[in-house]
Amino acid sequence: MAAKERGIFKAVADSAMLFRKRLSVTAEQESCILQVEFTKPDRGGLGFALVGGVNGSTLRVKDICCGGVAEQDGRLRVGDILLEVNGIIVSGLSHSKVVDILRKAEGTVQLTVCRDILPMSACSASNYPTEAHGNFNTLNSAAQTEAHPDHVSFHSDCPECEQESRNCTPTCQRCCPSLGVTDMLQEKTDPQKQHLENSAMKTEHSQSDGWSSDEEEDGDDDDCASQPSPPETIPLTGRPIVSEEELSSLAVISPPKNGQYTGSRVKALIQALEQLEKQDLVKEFMALEHLNPSDNCLVGKAPENREKNRYREILPYDKTRVPVGEDEGYINASYIRMKVGSEELFFISAQGPLPGTQDSFWQMVWENRSDVIAMMTREVERGRVKCHKYWPEKLDVPKETSRYQLFLDNYQMLGYFHIKVIKMVEKKSGDVHFVKHLKFTTWPDHGTPHSSDQLVRFIRYMRAVHAKGPITVHCSAGIGRAGVLICTDVILSLIQKDLSINVSDIVKEMRLQRHGMIQTKEQYLFCYKVWLEVLQNISLLYGHHWQTETSS
């Protein structure tokens, strides 16, 4: 494929948005951030329409016009987020401003876009029902991979579209249908329609929140106007792994009879939690900020390890860091052990892998025999790279590291988290280790979730499938959302065992093992929210039963 005809694909992992460094084809296919170059005709535009750009909102490709430059090139996708035009960062600019930049551009036009590329196999693609108009197979065509370009381009001889592609305001729905949720639902059967409606509602719900937080940016301003991340899509799935009914069943917590989380006692506790003042909880959180570091971080600060840290100031303590290999090499990860009665919950809390640390990350998973990875971030959020895509994406294409081959054995995409079963094969010995990779996808770009229900289900499933070794947890920095997950897991376990809960003590214990766990006051308040909502659900579920027992 000639560069002149198809442009040049480039991918980078640079949160400063300076996408200049060329990578290999393999790395490009794995990236979420792509650069595409078009040659703009002397007359007419590039043949695509944008939507968004209101009050700093994301600018997204809405339509690709039949017969236009973008459609002929075939690589730009509906749903792609526009980040740069010829090196000009357009994040936060208005729709009219960006359209004006595009109109004034001449000759070669370079676009930087963000896309969430999700796994697909050739065998499963043939079984997925196609749309009646065009070849869009999912809610957002951006979920398709480069291996299946026929799934995302329109093929038509419609003259109306060719005429309208010049001003990029397509109205002929036969060839250029809008990809709005309502339009897509009209082509779906009832079960599919309901599934997409639920997914769309969850996506919309997750894009706004009452509190602003940018918990994992090094030195960033909480009030900065940043781009929302691309919504998660529902792509093809592998063999069924778990049903919603099973997840609902797992989410039910049954405290011991006659314990502190039953009857009138749990109702009194709920009332007490409901009456807590937000300002008092914030003071409680701020008191934790005055805790002195429990150890040095000399290994993480060593000059040879600086490039292995995603953020300069977020480093593991020397005494709890996870050593890698016989020479006890460095990775930004910490052991965290949390007591729950006589038992111990064992975690590794890590930063999101970088391109240069993914080999060490998988070596750490292998050496610690960790069988669950819980991922609490998306690869790109608000136009910033948060985590390298370190896992295999296709059923038939293994991912290679220096020591291991990683095979995607099976996967399932649920509305709020993704499950991947990954088979690790050590190249030297041929030994095999299976890992469940769980990616929570509905944490909003700002603040915390509105409800704890989805996170509780995610954590209960994580705990149910865990069998051995520490659970490896990561977000971007490995202290914010990762801390919320660990704290929530501890709270749920304490309730299950009828033990008392002290959120401040839980956070303090985590921070003694990794500095800064639970990074913002919003995250701290959310831990209380989890505690309250779980108790409310217990009361609703068992309240009538308790009343019956009391009356008898």
Q: How far apart are the first and last CA of the chain?
A: 79
> Which residues have C-beta within 8 Å of that of residue 60, sequence separation ≥ 6?
50, 51, 52, 79, 80, 81, 82, 230
Integer angstrom CA distances of residue 65 from 50, 173, 300? 11, 11, 51
User: Tens of pLDDT along 136-187?
Assistant: 333 233 333 333 322 322 233 333 333 333 333 333 333 333 333 223 333 3
* Cβ atoms of 484 and 475 closer than 8 Å: no
Task: Answer whether residue 82 is part of any domain.
Answer: yes
How much is the pLDDT for 371? 97
Q: Is 357 in the same domain as 488?
A: yes
Q: Is 434 in the same domain as 307?
A: yes
How much is the pLDDT for 237? 59
239-253, 453-467, 473-487, 528-542: which has the minimum mean pLDDT?
239-253
> Which residues have C-beta within 8 Å of that of residue 516, sequence separation ≥ 6?
314, 477, 479, 483
Q: What is the mean pLDDT of residues 353-374?
A: 97
Q: Give the per-residue SS3 of 39-85.
A: ECCCCCCCCEEEEECCCCCCEEEEEECCCCHHHHHCCCCCCCEEEEE
Q: What is the mean pLDDT of residues 299-322?
A: 96
Domain at 107, CATH number: 2.30.42.10
How much is the pLDDT for 160? 34
Query: Helices marked H in 84-134 — which ranges?
Result: 95-104, 122-125
Question: What is the Cα–Cα distance from 293 to 300, expressed in whole angstroms?
Answer: 14
Percent composition of the chain: helix, strand, coil (DSSP 3-state, to 5):
35, 20, 50
Mean pLDDT of the chain: 76
Question: What is the Cα–Cα distance from 90 to 93, expressed in whole angstroms?
Answer: 5
| Among 168, 172, 176, 475, the one annotated catalytic | 475
User: Tens of pLDDT along 93-150?
Assistant: 888 888 889 988 888 999 988 875 544 333 333 333 333 333 333 323 333 333 332 2
Q: Is 181 in the same domain as 250?
A: no
Q: Confidence band (pLDDT; 50, 70, 90) for 376?
A: very high
How much is the pLDDT for 248? 87
Q: Is 179 in the same domain as 248?
A: no
Tell me whether residue 172 is one of the annotated catalytic residues. no
Q: Is 251 in the same domain as 392?
A: yes
Q: What is the mean pLDDT of residues 246-266?
A: 88
* Cβ atoms of 315 and 295 closer than 8 Å: no
Q: What is the mean pLDDT of residues 450-473?
A: 95
Q: What letter does residue 293 receive in the DSSP assignment?
A: P
Q: What is the mean pLDDT of residues 235-262?
A: 83
Task: Answer whether residue 288 is part of any domain.
Answer: no
Task: Answer whether residue 209 is part of any domain.
Answer: no
Task: Answer whether residue 494 is part of any domain.
Answer: yes
How much is the pLDDT for 150? 29
How much is the pLDDT for 447? 86
Output the six-digit token pair for 117: 């590329």
How much is the pLDDT for 106? 87
Q: Is 328 in the same domain as 407?
A: yes
Output the six-digit token pair for 300: 């993480």
Q: Reply yes or no on whether the pLDDT at 281 is more than 60.
A: yes
Domain at 471, CATH number: 3.90.190.10
How much is the pLDDT for 236? 53
> Which residues have C-beta within 8 Å of that of residue 493, sequence separation ≥ 6?
340, 343, 345, 463
Amino acid occupying residue 44: G
Task: Answer whether residue 285 is part of any domain.
Answer: no
> Which residues have C-beta within 8 Å of that of residue 163, sequence separation ≥ 6?
none
DSSP-derived 3-state class of residue 547: helix
Question: What is the Cα–Cα distance from 467 to 252, expressed in whole angstroms?
Answer: 20
Segments forming the whole domain that contains residue 457: 244-256+294-530
Q: Is 304 in the same domain as 165?
A: no
Q: Reply yes or no on whether the pLDDT at 518 is more than 90.
A: yes
Task: Answer whether residue 545 is part of any domain.
Answer: no
Please state, for a pLDDT cut of 70, what percent of the chain lies above it.
69
Q: Which residues face 348 on adjacent strands?
A: 335, 472
Question: What is the Cα–Cα distance from 416 to 454, expressed in whole angstroms?
Answer: 7
Integer angstrom CA distances of residue 298 from 303, 315, 329, 489? 10, 9, 13, 30
How much is the pLDDT for 122? 35
Q: How far is CA 248 from the centre of its chain?
A: 22
Output the six-digit token pair for 464: 């149910």
What's the structural domain count of the chain?
2
Q: Is 182 in the same domain as 249?
A: no
Q: Is 152 in the same domain as 250?
A: no
User: Tens of pLDDT along 476-487?
Assistant: 999 999 999 999
Q: Is 52 in the same domain as 179?
A: yes
Question: What is the Cα–Cα distance from 485 to 376, expressed in whole angstroms?
Answer: 8
Residue with tokens 């299946």: 148
The burial of 96, by beta-carbon neighbours within 10 Å (0-12 exposed, 13-18 middle, 19 or more buried), is given as exposed
Q: What is the pTM of this model?
A: 0.61
How much is the pLDDT for 104? 87
Q: Is 447 in the same domain as 325?
A: yes
Output the six-digit token pair for 422: 């990954």
Task: Answer whether residue 366 is part of any domain.
Answer: yes
Question: What is the Cα–Cα distance from 515 to 530, expressed in whole angstroms?
Answer: 23
* Cβ atoms of 52 and 95 closer than 8 Å: yes
DSSP labels for 186-249? TTS-HHHHHHHHHHHHHHHHTT--SS---TT-TT--TT---PPPPPP------S----HHHHHH
How much is the pLDDT for 12? 31
Output the six-digit token pair for 258: 């006659």
Q: Is 376 in the same domain as 459?
A: yes
How much is the pLDDT for 20? 34
Q: Reply yes or no on whether the pLDDT at 329 is more than 50.
A: yes
Question: What is the Cα–Cα distance from 104 to 99, expressed in whole angstroms?
Answer: 9
How much is the pLDDT for 151? 30
More confident residue, 455 or 222: 455
- At residue 421, φ and ψ (nearest 5 deg) are -100, 115
Q: Reply yes or no on whether the pLDDT at 21 is more than 90.
A: no
Most confident of 20-24, 207-211, 276-280, 443-447: 276-280
Task: Answer whether residue 426 is part of any domain.
Answer: yes
Integer angstrom CA distances of residue 321 from 13, 43, 105? 25, 60, 50
More confident residue, 272 or 238: 272
How much is the pLDDT for 445? 73
Please state, for a pLDDT cut of 90, what percent of the chain lies above it.
46
Question: What is the Cα–Cα distance from 171 to 140, expressed in whole angstroms?
Answer: 19
